[in-house]
Amino acid sequence: MTHIHHRDHLVVIGNGMAGCRAVEEILARDPHRYKVTIFGAEPHVNYNRIMLSPVLAGEKRFDEIVINDRSWYLDHGIELIAADPVTAIDRAAKTVTSKAGRTVSYDRLLIATGSDPFIIPVPGKDLPGVISFRDMADVDAMLAAAAQGGDAVVIGGGLLGLEAAHGLSLRGMKVTVLHLMPTLMERQLDEAAGWLLKTALEGRGQTIITGADTAEIVGDGKVEGVRLKDGREIPASLVVMAVGIRPNTALARDAGLAVGRGIQVDDDMVTSDPAILAVGECVEHRGQVYGLVAPLWEMCRALADGCTTGCTGYRGSVTSTKLKVSGIDVFSAGDFSGGDGTEDIVLRDAARGVYKRVVVKDDRVVGAVLYGDTADGSWYFDLLRKGEDISDVRDALIFGQAFAAGGGAADPKAAVAALSDDAEICGCNGVSKGKVVATIQGGACTLDAVRGSCKASASCGSCTGLVESLLALTLGDDYAGARAVKTMCKCTSFGHDDVRREIVLQNMASIPEVMQKLHWSTPDGCASCRPALNYYLLCANPADYVDDQQSRFVNERMHANIQKDGTYSVVPRMWGGLTTPQELRAIADVVEKYDAPMVKVTGGQRLDIFGIRKEDLPAVWADLNAAGMVSGHAYGKALRTVKTCVGSEWCRFGTQDSTGLGVKLERGFWGSWMPHKFKMAVSGCPRNCAEATIKDFGVVCVDSGYELHVGGNGGIHVRATDFLVKVGTEEEAMHYAAAFVQLYREEARYLERTAPWIERVGLAYIKARVVEDEEGRDSLASRFWFSQQFAQDDPWEQRAAGADRNLHRPLAEIRPLPAFEGA
């Protein structure tokens, strides 16, 4: 008599990668343990969802991405119920019911429902032509749309969105990617790598808009475009939503299982019901939800062990991401957010478009980001996963496994001596070793001389060490040594002047671009270099550069001065020290409404409101803006005050209308960012009541015109101004002021006031540029007024400026009266 073994019935909800992989793992351990039935929502066999992107791009066919074909189900006696999703679980009866009304009983149930795409709840989200990117049906819909051509918008700059954009672009559509965050793939990439990826994708013809907040999807009966909250509208006949995924927990929740962010499971992947298992993207294990394949495979192995042989269970996963986005190699692993106790080791190769960053803590790798060259990703991930001590290879770590295994770098002089004469030293400018040596032998005995003669190390600076080694080798004892350059900060070997020069020469447009091309040794810079770079870029390209908020000091972000008790002081602008009843009432109302404990008349002839709480600042500025008052920039590296006396209109000694000229100067120069704070004054006569001769730019009125003075300041070390020139009209005074300010803006180092700047470059140089060179003066003034056109359009300014749009008009339109005029 043959004994027939009863097999438990395992019902699997989900015919995707996790569900079928779990079945494979169980079959590998005990092929006769279960009778298996699999329900699938799609009319397909199990396929590799990760490979949908190559199908969209035309690189693969569907049959090439199938994991388990029909024969697999037949060979293992698995019943596949396709295109019929389960709609209910009855835990008491131990049955599941499908959409078609089929009811099947189970002994053990495995939920592998995966995740659902998140659809942002904006008007128009249900219009025809709005789709997600999650399954073959979505791919078929995109292919049908691409066949018609036209414009596509992909909302979401994560991996899935970028792959959708790449595929649609290859299919001939004009693609725009909208991403809410400032960095593409921010979960996998830091700012530097995200910028490189954005630049590369734009080079492939895509339009990438970061910081893009979708307001609505527009169209009459079908998709016609996407409108952003800032008013921009992008045309589109197809909109792909790829903003993220959420664990599909609806079935489990309805069945009364424990659900948090996902279906909660233990280390054996068992839910709160011992008869029900769950695996894949739908589960939450020890508070974590995973959306990558590697953790899913580890879950499936743990589940199969628990169902058959018993095991130690699933302990969670350390994840890494290694992928190609539009043919670009990207890798990330672990925690690259930095923080206390961590150290960043960074390598940047601008010519090859390579960026590598390894985050180390307590002599162990805790995170890594690689862009462009990911060959060592597996090595870094192994070091991270095992928590190995890397102190022995610390200096060679960033150069990769092969280099580290070789014991690191040899003596640099010996290494450069071994190079052949045709070996390239400077990749940016194509300069060989032989040419550098010949340049040195020809009389270039310093780094600057070599840079000036043959351009070696004059661009990105990464070959500076090689050039200095060649100087030492060629000159021997006659070499004076490496030049002493005061660098911007610890992040770079470049000084302020070098950075400003390269920003202009290479037409750089963003902080990450500067850091990549000039080989910054940190991933994102520091509190010293970021504000400086932000200013240099803003000065070099006022029309297009977008001010970077995270690179501003706290006072500039808050539009107020922080005080020692943590409250803020607010200083609205009073043009030339003049005010009106309307302004005084507005200030009084703010003081009462927000319980400000003190109001003080400042030395700059305006009122300072103290004791404002941080959370009240937006409302305070809204109230002041409503009365026509704008920020006095008492916190900014910008024009602070224009001090005036009453001048000829009231004073018996006054020779000119000093108050009127002061108002013109303040209205004309307000909002212009500068290397440091900047103060002006206009005195109506040589008695100098406005103290014009200790200001950055001062005007002393005399009977025959206006004497212009520059480079003064009060403070710890009082410095009287230097006389610049005497002019005959207000228009000339404004013109010379614009030229002087622009020269200061373009050539001073960040946080360098006019006094030390003039002492460094010499008054003769300032006069030569501003007074003696008429054409140069006109050019400087023209550039200043050009930049002022955009200062008021800057979103950062708008938040502090309210509705006033009359602050940067041409000189002929600038009125001497301080009254506010609405837009």
Q: Give the residue numbers of the binding site for siroheme.
A: 689
List C-alpha distances in Å: 487 to 217, 495, 498, 520, 744: 49, 4, 9, 12, 20
**Residue 630 and residue 572: Cα distance in Å, rounded?**
6
Contacts of 541 (CB under 8 A, 6+ apart): 509
Contacts of 324 (CB under 8 A, 6+ apart): 330
Q: Which is it for the CA torsion 13, 14, 18, 21, positive or negative?
A: positive
Judge contact between 506 and 517, C-beta under 8 A. Answer: yes
How many Cβ atoms from other residues are within 10 Å of residue 301's Cβ? 18
Judge contact between 338 and 526, C-beta under 8 A. Answer: no
Judge contact between 523 and 190, C-beta under 8 A. Answer: yes
**Residue 800 and residue 798: Cα distance in Å, rounded?**
5
Q: Phi/psi of residue 288, each to 5°?
A: -110, 145
**Residue 490 and residue 52: Cα distance in Å, rounded?**
45
- Kindly give the residue spans of alpha helices, DSSP state H, lying in 476-616: 496-505, 511-517, 529-540, 554-558, 581-593
Residues contributing to the annotated binding site for [4Fe-4S] cluster: 645, 651, 685, 689
Give the strand pairing for 207-210 and 174-179. Answer: parallel
Q: DSSP labels for 168-182?
A: HHHTT-EEEEEESSS
**Residue 140 and residue 147: Cα distance in Å, rounded?**
11
Structure-token pair, residue 448: 């600057």
Residues contributing to the annotated binding site: 645, 651, 685, 689
The two most distant CA atoms of the chain are separated, in Å, by 129
Beta bridge partners of 360: 343, 365
Q: Phi/psi of residue 225, each to 5°?
A: 175, 175
Q: Phi/psi of residue 389, each to 5°?
A: -70, 125
